[in-house]
Structures are given as C-alpha cells and as structure tokens.
Structure 1
C-alpha cells in the first residue's frame, strides 16, 4: 500500500498537514508524509497545538496571570516561544531531505483534538497525518486523551486522516466529500514562519487562535 501511495503521490496539489509534538510518533508521521504523499517542492503544513495556560506558579507558590506585565510571565512566554521554534526546526529536516517546503502553524487550546479539527477547517486541509497514540503506561501530563481517535471522530468530510505507527499506516479514515473551496498556500520561504513571527510579548490567546491563513500560490 505504501508503494502505491508513493507512486501516485496523493498529496500532489492538495493541502497536506502533519500534527506534531516532541515525540517519536510524530517523527514517524512526518517522515511517512514526506516520503509517501508529497512531490518535490510542494508545501507541507506542520501544525503544533500548544497547551493553553492562563497562569503559572512562581517558586513561592503564587499564581501569576500570563497576561500580566511581570518578569516571570515574560520569561515564561519567551521560553514557550523558543521551545516552539525549536520543535518546528527539528521537523523541518524531514522536509529538507526531500526538497519539500514547509509552513509552520502554532495553535493554542486546552483541547488538542478540537484545535486540530478547527485547524482542518480553517486551512482546508485535505490530508492530515497523525502519529498513533502511545500505548506506554508513562503518559505525559495533558496527553491522556487519545488524540488520533478523537480527531477521527470529528474530522470534516473533505479530509482524509492517516494514523501512522512506527513508519507504517495504522489506520485511514477516507474523505467522503470533496473540498468545495480550494485555498492556495505559498512555498515562499520568507513566509513559512508567519505563525511564529510575533515576539513573545504578543503571543496571547487571541493572536494564536484568530490568525487567519494567507492566500498564496503553490509552485508544483
């Protein structure tokens, strides 16, 4: 099945995205997507959902609102900003190896599956690739939800969802309807990081969630 997909390059001319986290399953998903779905020079969307927080605890145990004009709050935002940049940079290598362009989208929400489903609609994603849920007993904080399963239940009818486990297709939920409005996405390198361009001081919830995709063109 993988060979057939690779030969046909199902993602050619379509909006393809990989949802990423800092784990091995996301790496498998990204590598599979660039190897099997995308032709050279096409754009891949890298989507990361950052866990939303309204406040943080100081060493003394007090809570500080993240929108406060405070050194601790600013330092926290800077740390989150740097971690997001590092995460996206670590996944760009999969694209670079295959001469695939990439565009980075950072979302913020308390509900990761909901944020991904909203992202599918916002960016008209036709092919979404996810790493399979971990079966390990060591579940990280905020990662107890089976994200692939929840996304599968709410994925829009125009989107095909691939779940990848250890470099192979674990399951597929095929699209049942065509995409009615076709967006265009740029492969211009200067615009690839538009979601991460603001300074940490401006990384508030409204900025991260209400940012709309740009209308651009693909060079195939």
Structure 2
C-alpha cells in the first residue's frame, strides 16, 4: 500500500499497538502493522511485558529477593533495564525510518497474556498486532503458553487482533463492537511519542507508569 493512500489505512485515527519481544516474529508483526495499518506520522504503541520474578539465584546457588539491597540484585535489575532499553531502541529505529512515531510501554507481570489483554482496556487499543508463535520443534516443545492466541481469544470486543507470521496474516479476530467516535478521537489526540526509557533501572518502572496512567474503561457501541 503506497504512502499516497495512507489516509485510507485502517489504523488512521485509531489506537494501534504491537506486542514486542526480542525475536523475528515481533519484527514481522511491527513491519506488517506499519506497512498496512498506519499512516505517516501516526503514533504506534510498542508494548513489552517483562516476566516478573520475585527471586533470583546467586553464584552460590542460593535465592535472594530481586528487591534486596545486594550486588546480585542490582546487577540483575541493570541487566533487565539494558535488555528492555535495547529492545525498544531496535523497534524505535525501525519506526523512525518509516516516519512512524512510537510510544513505548513496559509492563511487568507473571501472566503475559493477561497483561496484554489488560493493556487493551487501559489504552483503548482498537488494533492489536502480535507475532505468531515460532514453528521450530525446540520452541514448541518447551513453550507452555501460546500468548498470541490467548490474547486473541480474550481481548475485549472492541479490539481487532492480528497474528502475523512471516509478514502475512496468520489469523485475525475481528472486533464485534466499536468505540465511540468521541472516545477514539480523544485517545488519538492524547497519545504522543514516548521515545525514552527512564535513566535508571531503580526508577524505570515507576516513571513509565507515570507516563502512561491508566485510562477510564472505554465506552463502545
């Protein structure tokens, strides 16, 4: 679809999000969303859910709290911060090349599908794009949660969910109701580019949540 027809794209004036991980399936999903849903200069939400853990292993094999005032805990937080920063930076560069603005949302939860489904309500996301699960035998053997399909089945009725495999639609769950025009316009005008993570892993999550306050439950027709 050419940029000259960008005003006709499905995501024009709507909240569009891509759930990202550090893998090729997320890259395919982001590219498809930019090429097929978003007009030039519109904002894309990049959502990453970091798996929450309460304890980590020390070099001696013992377990300590991730909140402990300990060198191992601080090193772990720094590593998680660096990984999140690098992940968002990769997708931000891609969006910038396509003249697409992006807003970065970092969540932390033990249940990744639940966190993504809740984010649909929080940010009134009308179009959610996810990469399809890997088809490799090793991943199929050890993967216990099919995140894309769980999100597709459990997403609110106003959200259309696309699952993308190698640049093409694998499955799509269409919305059954629509957000009101007033609500959609307000959200579109409110979402602004958010291009930087917090400077310190100790305050990163708190600042990100301040930048992305929960919204009131959406109304739909």
Same fold (TM over 0.5): yes
TM range (shorter): 0.7 to 0.9
CA distance in 2 between partners of 1:144 and 1:209 (Å): 29
The ranges of structure 1 where at least 4 consecutive aligned residues each deviate by more than 4 angstroms after the TM superposition are 140-143, 208-212
The structure whose residues are more often helix, as a share, is: 2
Aligned to 1:109: 109
Can you give the 5+ residue segments of structure 1 that lack an aligned partner in the other structure? 216-220
Shift of 1:8: 2.7
Asked if 2 retains the 8 angstrom alpha-carbon contact of 1:131 and 1:165, the reply is yes
Aligned pairs for 1:14-93 (under 5 A) are: 14-93=14-93
Aligned to 1:149: 149
Aligned to 1:169: 169
Shift of 1:91: 1.0
Aligned to 2:195: 192
Asked if 2 retains the 8 angstrom alpha-carbon contact of 1:49 and 1:106, the reply is yes
Count residues with an aligned counterpart.
Answer: 207
Asked if 2 retains the 8 angstrom alpha-carbon contact of 1:40 and 1:99, the reply is yes
Q: What TM-score, normalized by structure 1, do the two folds share? A: 0.85
Asked if 2 retains the 8 angstrom alpha-carbon contact of 1:42 and 1:187, the reply is no
Can you give the 5+ residue segments of structure 2 that lack an aligned partner in the other structure? 215-221
- Label 1:212 to 1:174 Cα distance change in 2 as closer, same or farther (>3 A): farther
- Label 1:105 to 1:143 Cα distance change in 2 as closer, same or farther (>3 A): farther
1:202 aligns with 2:207: no
Alignment RMSD: 2.5
Aligned to 1:218: none
Equivalent residue of 1:85, what SS? Answer: helix
